Structure 1
Amino acid sequence: MALPVPAGLKFFSILLLALYPFLVWFGLSSGQHMLLGFVLVVLFGLRFSLLRNLLPELQKIGQLGAVVGVLLVSASLLLERQALLLYYPVAVNGIFLLLFATSLLTEQSLVERLARLREPDLPADGVSYTRRVTQAWCVFFILNGSIALVTVLLQDVRLWALYNGFISYLLIALMMGVEWIVRRKVRNRKATNPLS
């Protein structure tokens, strides 16, 4: 029987992973590559083990991200190539793109599965809407991952940390906010004109 995971520990691991770009920036600029690598491997291992009681797809995303993180950090340490650490945000966008895009090939898109957690009897127009939202997220991950890759190739760790540790999160929040506004408008329009 698995022991319950304290909520504070889960929050702490999520917070540290969100700060990954700044941890890398600090570790590389202070010359603490080995210590940084050790901390990151422990952090990714912790994250992998804490992903329970989630929707299987979200658990898969988190665990795959943790495995990729460990592989990149390990390769960076073994090959003494610090720049490999910078590819993690690119890989995460690729993982999200892969899971969102492959869900479009199934009967239920990933966004539909998430929507059905709140609304099990999702109507046909809701199914169509969630499929379009899944497609929009795919476009987002392509663009965000491409910009993340450009920040790696520019070899400016400060710019890389700024984009991947701050601007990227703002863009995710903006995307979620716009989708929430659009969803409310679509629901309101449907409520006021149910035959449309």
Structure 2
Amino acid sequence: MTRLGVVLLVVGLAYPFLVYFGLQILPAGFIAIGLFVLLALRLAFSRKPDSFNTLPYLIAALVLLILAARSPMVGLKAYPVLLSLALGAGFAYSLIRPPTVIEQIARIHHPDLPLSVNSYLRKVTIAWLMFFLINAALSAATAMSGSLKLWTLYNGFISYIAMGVMFAGEFLIRQVVHQRIRRAA
């Protein structure tokens, strides 16, 4: 990952806090412009600009542009919701048009996986789809609560903890699945 990629990742992860503290000194419209610049840079420096990986950012950018034109604050708070929905859409699409996102990732690291694990990989894809939908719903609830502090706490901290728990749980289950595959081979 390039330095710019690292900076964009850090800024993206810190986004809720940047919004919270930025609104203390800047108008919402100015911060919304910053969000669009962030999304534009993310798309411009994507390794595969024509890949499905950029689609969630394109969808989020388009919807945010429309929302922010009407109300910059709504656009700012909608970003985590739209990103979760767009990522969920990517996972859902891969369930309809396999291979699933999780299978693609798994086969990068383990190209010799037997086809028998596809059922497990599909279940993991469904689990992540459910995670993104629940995360989008909770993000939307915090956005509509009217509390910028609650929105920042959930979207800048709690959602990351939940994602970490999801990764850790899936990692532990994956170790059991790998042991079963080795025993069966």
Q: CA deviation at 1:104?
A: 0.7
| Match among 108, 128, 140 for residue 119 of structure 2 | 128
Q: TM-score normalized by structure 2?
A: 0.89
Q: CA deviation at 1:57?
A: 3.0
Q: In the alignment, is the contact (CA less than 8 A) between 2:84 and 2:133 conserved in 1?
A: yes
Q: In the alignment, is the contact (CA less than 8 A) between 2:29 and 2:72 conserved in 1?
A: no
- Return the letter of the residue paired with 2:146: Q
- The alignment-based identity, stated in percent, is 31
| Distance (Å, rounded) in 1 between the aligned partners of 2:108 and 2:40 | 28
Q: In the alignment, is the contact (CA less than 8 A) between 1:51 and 1:63 conserved in 2?
A: no
RMSD: 2.2
| Distance (Å, rounded) in 2 between the aligned partners of 1:64 and 1:153 | 21
Q: Which residues of structure 2 form unaligned runs of 5+?
A: none
Q: In the alignment, is the contact (CA less than 8 A) between 2:8 and 2:42 conserved in 1?
A: yes
SS of the equivalent of 1:121 reads coil
| Distance (Å, rounded) in 2 between the aligned partners of 1:128 and 1:166 | 32
**In the alignment, which residue of structure 2 is the partner of 1:141?**
132
**In the alignment, which residue of structure 2 is the partner of 1:3?**
none
- Looking at CA atoms only, which structure, 1 or 2, has the larger radius of gyration? 1
| Distance (Å, rounded) in 1 between the aligned partners of 2:182 and 2:71 | 59
Q: In the alignment, is the contact (CA less than 8 A) between 2:101 and 2:125 conserved in 1?
A: yes
Q: Residues 121-161 of structure 1: CA distance to partner in whole angstroms, max 9, x if unpaired?
A: 32122211110100111111111111111101111011101
Q: In the alignment, is the contact (CA less than 8 A) between 1:37 and 1:74 conserved in 2?
A: no
Number of equivalences: 185
- Return the letter of the residue paired with 1:33: A
**In the alignment, which residue of structure 1 is the partner of 2:171?**
180
- Return the letter of the residue paired with 1:135: I
Q: In the alignment, is the contact (CA less than 8 A) between 2:100 and 2:125 conserved in 1?
A: yes
Q: TM-score normalized by structure 1?
A: 0.84
Q: Which residues of structure 1 form unaligned runs of 5+?
A: 1-5
Quick one: structure 1 residues 159 and 122, their matched pair in 2 at CA, closer, same or farther if it must change by over 3 Å? same
